[in-house]
Structure 1
Amino acid sequence: MQELFAQPTAWHVSWAQRTAPMVRRLIRHRPTHTIFTRFPPPRHPDELPGTWRRYYTRWADMTRGQLDPQLLELVPMLAEFVPPALVFDKHGYSAFTTAGLGERLRAGAIATLIVSGGETDAAT
């Protein structure tokens, strides 16, 4: 639910603006129990090995070295919940490999997750 996908970028997805109000309604029930994930691309393709390097060479205009930093932020109607909501940056497909996220869920004895938002597919 980042500006990177909501604004007219090379990675724009049509569902982002339509989905945000529904996600917002869900968050309003428990903002203190909300965790957002963001996807910050690398600064430059050379920071990553192999296939990722080739991918970001193709999408070099979507690297942090070339993007407006504001595009990495959550869409405004969701960003207003931070804090108390938390934000974790994920550097791969799964947020569950993000440092600290699993620990946070375990520490809070979280037994149920509601996953909302959307997913993008990577095309080269």
Structure 2
Amino acid sequence: MYKNLKAIGITAVDSIEKYTVRTEGSHDVLKVYYRREKGDMFARSEKFKYPRQQKRVKVDSGSNKYNATSEIAPTLRYVIEELDQVAKKEIQPEVDTKTKILADLRHLEKVVTSKIKEIEADLEKL
């Protein structure tokens, strides 16, 4: 199903926790993190380097000036699309967690507001 991930050697797609992409010089570095239990023999992450695609872009049509630019390699783009699909499955429970945290925060806000009013009322009595 995930042919690009399999092409780079990632077979345990279900155990992918998250990934990061960063640029180091003329390479993009993809780091894939896995869920691991204590005592597992396998690494917690894998690192893959992709050379950036070099392009010359015309800056000014009148003077025919070109600038050298670089962009993400197409292969890495395909791998990231598949990782997004895998990560999207993991994000769903997080949305529920966010909703729960926001509800807890609103409840705490009401409790604190009520307590402040109670304390202010006690101060007025003094």
Q: Per the shorter chain, which TM-score range?
A: under 0.3
Larger Rg: 2
Q: Which structure shows the higher strand fraction?
A: 2
Structure with larger RCO (C-alpha < 8 A, sep 6+): 1
TM-score, normalising length: structure 2: 0.27
TM score, norm. by length of structure 1: 0.27
